[in-house]
C-alpha cells in the first residue's frame, strides 16, 4: 500500500481535477504490475496496473490507494476490468468520498466473490485532500499561497512585488497552480501585476488551469494578459451584479467568462464564488494575491491550507502587509494554525500550515 501511495504521487501535478490514485498487483508475494492515474481522460491506475501484469493478474491481489470507480465517465468502470482479469483480492487505502460511491464499488466486487479489505488510513485521504473536500462540501479546496519578506511584506511601498522570492520558490508556485487546477487573484493584482497565471516550465504538461479574478467593479483591462489569452486558457471574472455591462461585453468577446456575483457588505460573496467554481468540477483553488484577497479568505474561515514562502529580505516600515481585510482586537481572536511542514526551497523557506479545525468552523459559521 505504501508503494501504491508513492505511485499516486506521479499524478500530483497532472491529474486535476481527478484524484491521485496508485495501484500495485501482487502475485505469490511478488509485484507483477504497477500503475497510476496520470491525467483526466487517461487510463485509471487500476487498469494500467492490471494491463502491465498481464495473465499474472488471474488470482492476484490488487492494492489501490483509492476505491475503484464503478461508473462510466471518460473511461469504463475499473470494477469491470478487475472482474474480467480475475483478481482474487482487493485492498483499498480509502473509500472514494464521492457521495455516488462511498463503498458501492466494493459491494459489487464482494457480490462477485472478490475478497475486499479497506484500510481507511487517513494518509490516503490527506493525499487527496482537494478532491475529498470538493466531494464533501461542493466547494473547491482553498490553498492560499503568499510570498513574503521576513517582516511580513508582500510588496515594496510602491507596490512592486517582482520578485519577493527566488526562482526555486516561483517554480514551486507553478507546481501548486497545476495541482489545484485553478488560480485566483483579486482585481488589484490583476491590474498592477498583469499576471498570466498559467503553470509554466514544468517537467510534464499540466492540465488546463482556470484563471479566476475577483473584480467587483469589473476593471480588468481588455489589453491584459488574462484577457488576451482567454481563448487558450479559461478566465472567469466574478463581478458585482451592478458592474458595467459594456466592459463585460468587451471581455466576453475575447473569451473571458464574466459571472455576476452578489455583493455582501461591499465585497463579493466568496461562498457564492466557491460554490460556482465547485459546480464546474474544480477541485482546488490556489489563491495567489494579493494580501487583501488572501485576508478575506482567511478572515472568513474559507482558507483550507496556507503556504508561505519567506524570502531572506526585510522591507522595514514600508511595504504591503502579508494579509489585510480582517482585524482582531486581541490575541484570543487571532486565527490559529498548525505547522505541517517547514522546508528550504532554494534561497527561501516554505512553511505549510493548516487552520485549526475548531477555529475554522467558528469563523466560517
Going from the C-alpha of 293 to that of each of 4, 22, 185, 261, 289, the distances in angstroms are 38, 36, 7, 16, 6
The length of the chain is: 365
Convert 175-213 to b/e letters by CB count within 10 Å (16 or more is b): ebbbbbbbbbbbbbbbeebebebbbeeeeeebbebbbbb
Angle (nearest 5°) at CA 21 between 16 and 27: 160
Q: Distance between CA atoms of 213 and 176, rounded to whole angstroms? A: 17
CA distance 329 to 348: 32
Is-contact 61 88, C-beta < 8 A? Answer: yes
End-to-end CA distance of the chain: 37
If you compute the radius of gyration of the chain from its CA atoms, what whole number of angstroms results? 22
The residues assigned a catalytic role are 46
What 3-state class would DSSP assign to 55?
helix
CA distance 293 to 186: 6
Percent helix / strand / coil, the chain, rounded to 5: 30, 25, 40
Residues 6 or more apart in contact with residue 278 via CB below 8 angstroms: 134, 137, 138, 139, 140
Amino acid at each position: 500500500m505504501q508503494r501504491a501511495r508513492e505511485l499516486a504521487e506521479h499524478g500530483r501535478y497532472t491529474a486535476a481535477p481527478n484524484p491521485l490514485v496508485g495501484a500495485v498487483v501482487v502475485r505469490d508475494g511478488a509485484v507483477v504490475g504497477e500503475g497510476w492515474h496520470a491525467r483526466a481522460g487517461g487510463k485509471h491506475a487500476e487498469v494500467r496496473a492490471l494491463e502491465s501484469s498481464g495473465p499474472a493478474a488471474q488470482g492476484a491481489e490488487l492494492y489501490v490507494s483509492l476505491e475503484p470507480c464503478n461508473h462510466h465517465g471518460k473511461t469504463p468502470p475499473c470494477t469491470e476490468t478487475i472482474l474480467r482479469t480475475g483478481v482474487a483480492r482487493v485492498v483499498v487505502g480509502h473509500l472514494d468520498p464521492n457521495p455516488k460511491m462511498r463503498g458501492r464499488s466494493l459491494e459489487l466486487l464482494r457480490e462477485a466473490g472478490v475478497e475486499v479489505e479497506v484500510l481507511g488510513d487517513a494518509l490516503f485521504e490527506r493525499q487527496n485532500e482537494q478532491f475529498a473536500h470538493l466531494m464533501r462540501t461542493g466547494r473547491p479546496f482553498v490553498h492560499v499561497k503568499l510570498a513574503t519578506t521576513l517582516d511580513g511584506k508582500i510588496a515594496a511601498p510602491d507596490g512592486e512585488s517582482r520578485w519577493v522570492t527566488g526562482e526555486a520558490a516561483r517554480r514551486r508556485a507553478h507546481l501548486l497552480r497545476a495541482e489545484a487546477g485553478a488560480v485566483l487573484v483579486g482585481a488589484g493584482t490583476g491590474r498592477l501585476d498583469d499576471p498570466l497565471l498559467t503553470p509554466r516550465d514544468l517537467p510534464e504538461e499540466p492540465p488546463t488551469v482556470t484563471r479566476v479574478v475577483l473584480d467587483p467593479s469589473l476593471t480588468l483591462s481588455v489589453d491584459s494578459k488574462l484577457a488576451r489569452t482567454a481563448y487558450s486558457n479559461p478566465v472567469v471574472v466574478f463581478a458585482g451584479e451592478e458592474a458595467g455591462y459594456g466592459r463585460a461585453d468587451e471581455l466576453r468577446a475575447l473569451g473571458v467568462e464574466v459571472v455576476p456575483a452578489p455583493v455582501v457588505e461591499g465585497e463579493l460573496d466568496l461562498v457564492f464564488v466557491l460554490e460556482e467554481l465547485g459546480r464546474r468540477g474544480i477541485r482546488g483553488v490556489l489563491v495567489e494575491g494579493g494580501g487583501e484577497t488572501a485576508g478575506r479568505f482567511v478572515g472568513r474561515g474559507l482558507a483550507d491550507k496556507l503556504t508561505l514562502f519567506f524570502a531572506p529580505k526585510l522591507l522595514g516600515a514600508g511595504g504591503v502587509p502579508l494579509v489585510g481585510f480582517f482585524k482582531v482586537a486581541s490575541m484570543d481572536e487571532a486565527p490559529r494554525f498548525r505547522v505541517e511542514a517547514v522546508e528550504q526551497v532554494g534561497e527561501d523557506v516554505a512553511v505549510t500550515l493548516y487552520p485549526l479545525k475548531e477555529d475554522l468552523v467558528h469563523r466560517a459559521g
